Amino acid sequence: MKRPTNRNTDYWCVVEKSGPDIRHYFHLSVTSTPSLYVDHQEVTGIIGENVTINCHYSNTGIMRWCRLGKNCVTGPSGSIDGTRVTIDAQPSKVFTVTMSELNAESSGWYWCSTGNFQMPVHVTVSENHFTTTNSYSTDVGTITTVANKQNSIGLKSLIIRLSVLAFIVIVGLIVWFMLRLKQTKAESSSRTVVDEGITFSTVKHNNETSSQTQEDAIYSEVEFIRENSPQRSNAESDVEVM
């Protein structure tokens, strides 16, 4: 309820069911200064650690710390559902409630009380928590609420997605490297086969001097002998006889 008016009002809450409804009436008293209030109506804690609630009061009466629907602690110390509770009333008009060694079952609704006034407080216990603070003003002062945001599921999901992406990238690089290596080997093998079919020889030109060439040269004279045919020889003989 925000911005209450300076008027006392009766309220009631109800739970509907198949049989008779369950109703509970209460009276809301609005004053300039609250008779009972807490620093935070929403507190968070971690399993195994402690939480502290400061209850400010201006009236008189028995100071109690209770869990909704269960037992209360009225003395300096006690326990609620296995959680140790201590109440320190040394500061004037303030008593401090400390819940020690929290467990998962410690989460729930509690309320502190002095006399006939009660102030509800919700306690949330978790392993990891992220806290944001929201404040708003009312006619009776400023009420601050602390919201507990559980982001562990989202963080785990992000880590899983990044891990899968990294795995895909690594596998892709390995496949690319293997294909590249295979291609390089194939090119090297084909180049070797082509090289084996080629025969290389070295041609060396010997430049010898002219003197050596002349020494090694053999000169010969060729004489052509003309042979006369028999008929021509006979004719010449006849001419001589005449």
| Strand-pair partners of 198 | none
DSSP secondary-structure letter at 195? H
The Cα 114–Cα 65 span in angstroms is 9
Query: Which residue, 55, 78, 81, 57, is CA-closest to 68?
Result: 81
Residue pair 77/95 in contact by the 8 Å Cβ criterion: no
The Cα 35–Cα 223 span in angstroms is 157
Residues 6+ apart with CB under 8 A from 37: 55, 56, 119, 140, 141
61 backbone φψ class: left, alpha, beta (φ>0; ψ -120 to 50): left
- For the chain, give the percent of residues with pLDDT over 90: 29
The Cα 97–Cα 177 span in angstroms is 65
* More confident position, 218 or 136: 218
Mean of pLDDT values over 98-113 = 92
Sorting pLDDT into bands at 50, 70 and 90, what band is 225?
low
The Cα 79–Cα 73 span in angstroms is 7
Report the pLDDT value the prediction gives residue 85, as an integer from 0 to 100.
93
Query: Which residue, 162, 143, 128, 176, is CA-closest to 42?
Result: 143
Report the pLDDT value the prediction gives residue 179, as an integer from 0 to 100.
92
Report the pLDDT value the prediction gives residue 100, as an integer from 0 to 100.
92
Report the pLDDT value the prediction gives residue 22, as an integer from 0 to 100.
86
Encode pLDDT of 121-180 as tens digits. 999 998 864 555 554 444 444 444 444 445 667 788 889 999 999 999 999 999 999 999
Encode pLDDT of 52-77 as tens digits. 999 999 888 889 999 998 889 988 88
Residue pair 77/85 in contact by the 8 Å Cβ criterion: yes
The Cα 224–Cα 155 span in angstroms is 116
pLDDT over 60 (residue 8): yes
Q: Which amino acid does the sequence have at 128?
A: N
Report the pLDDT value the prediction gives residue 176, as an integer from 0 to 100.
93
Does an H or E element contain 211, and which? helix 210-216
The Cα 49–Cα 100 span in angstroms is 6
In this structure, how many other beta carbons lie within 10 angstroms of the beta carbon of residue 61? 13
| Tokens of residue 203, six digits | 């041609």
Sorting pLDDT into bands at 50, 70 and 90, what band is 187?
confident
Query: Which residue, 1, 96, 116, 7, is CA-closest to 51?
Result: 96
Report the pLDDT value the prediction gives residue 65, as an integer from 0 to 100.
94
Sorting pLDDT into bands at 50, 70 and 90, what band is 242?
very low
| Strand-pair partners of 112 | 65, 119
pLDDT over 60 (residue 219): no
